[in-house]
Structure formats: structure tokens, C-alpha cells
Amino acid sequence: MTKVFYSRYGRKKYVDDVVPIVKKGYFAVLLKDKHLLLTYPPHVEIPELPGGEVNRNENFRDCLFRKLYEETGFDFMLDKGIKRFEQTVNYFDETEKSWDVCFVYNQTFLLYDANNYAFDIHVPKWKTPENGYAEWVNLDDLLSEKTKLNYFHLLALKKLFS
């Protein structure tokens, strides 16, 4: 049976007889003064929300603590957030050498009111510990798609802010 998988860019791939790998991830949606924190992972041409796949024996707090540090340089722990959105997506990574590797990715997005933190949203894009970049971007620019964003993260933002 043919299944449809999507890349982080929203590109479709039709696959027959694939057994996808199941994975779970958490993403922090940090909102401060109508700006969201985005990351630009190395070798990825489109920004994403900070977060990602859970390592073995990690809970959501440990995962977000680790990913926030790697992807932004921020070293702090988050709680449960003010709003939560979950989605399960069929995903394939265009950077993988084998195009046969597909995932069923259970994603949880946690919205945080970052006005309670001492973030400066006016700083320019900065280099991160994993050699990517991070920056604060206007929420309206993301929702209107004026600023591009990971396909699945955009779907989640539209649900969180509908």
C-alpha cells in the first residue's frame, strides 16, 4: 500500500511497502512580545522551533533542556507550558542517504509565555553550541508564511494560534 511522507520543506514522497520508524519529539514554542524563538540547525535550510527527538530514558523536560541548550545556547529548564498541541506526522528526512528511511513522528509542541524570562528579542541572529543559528522572529510573519518555517512546525503553530 502506498503511503505519503513529507519532508520538513513540505515535499511529498510516495512509498510502497515501507515499515516506518516510530519516534517521539518535543518542541518549545517560546513566545515573547509577539516573537517566537527559531533555530537554524546545521545543514538545514529552513528554520525550526527548538526541540527534537527524545533520547532513551528522557522525559519532555530533559529533552527540552538538552535541545534548548544545543540549539540556542540557553541553559534553563521549562515546565509544562501554558498550551499543548500534539500531532503525528509521516516524515522523511531529505538529508538521509537512504530515501527508504521514513518515520511516524509523534510531535508535542509546548507553548510558553517567555515574557517571564529575561530574553532580549532584539538581538541579531546568534551562533549556537551545535554550530547552527537562533533568532527571534515575528509571529505574524510566520503565520502569514512571509517567513518560511519547517512544514510540520507551521502546521502546529497554526493550530496553537487559531
Rounded Cα–Cα distance for residues 63 and 77 (Å):
10
Q: Tell me, what's the pLDDT at 69?
A: 94
Q: Tell me, what's the pLDDT at 90?
A: 95
Rounded Cα–Cα distance for residues 85 and 106 (Å):
11
Q: Tell me, what's the pLDDT at 122?
A: 96
Q: Tell me, what's the pLDDT at 55?
A: 93
Q: Tell me, what's the pLDDT at 93?
A: 86
Q: What fold characterizes domain 2-160?
A: Nucleoside Triphosphate Pyrophosphohydrolase (3.90.79)
Rounded Cα–Cα distance for residues 47 and 104 (Å):
21
Task: Break the chain into its structural domains and give their ranges.
Answer: 2-160
pLDDT digits (tens, 9 = 90+) for 93-127: 887 666 668 999 999 999 999 998 889 999 999 99
On the question of pLDDT at 1 being above 80, the answer is no
Q: Tell me, what's the pLDDT at 106?
A: 97
pLDDT digits (tens, 9 = 90+) for 31-82: 999 999 999 999 888 999 999 999 999 988 899 999 999 999 998 778 778 9
Q: Tell me, what's the pLDDT at 26?
A: 95
Which of 103, 85, 130 has its CA nearest to residue 15?
103
On the question of pLDDT at 129 being above 90, the answer is yes
On the question of pLDDT at 16 being above 90, the answer is no
Q: Tell me, what's the pLDDT at 99?
A: 61
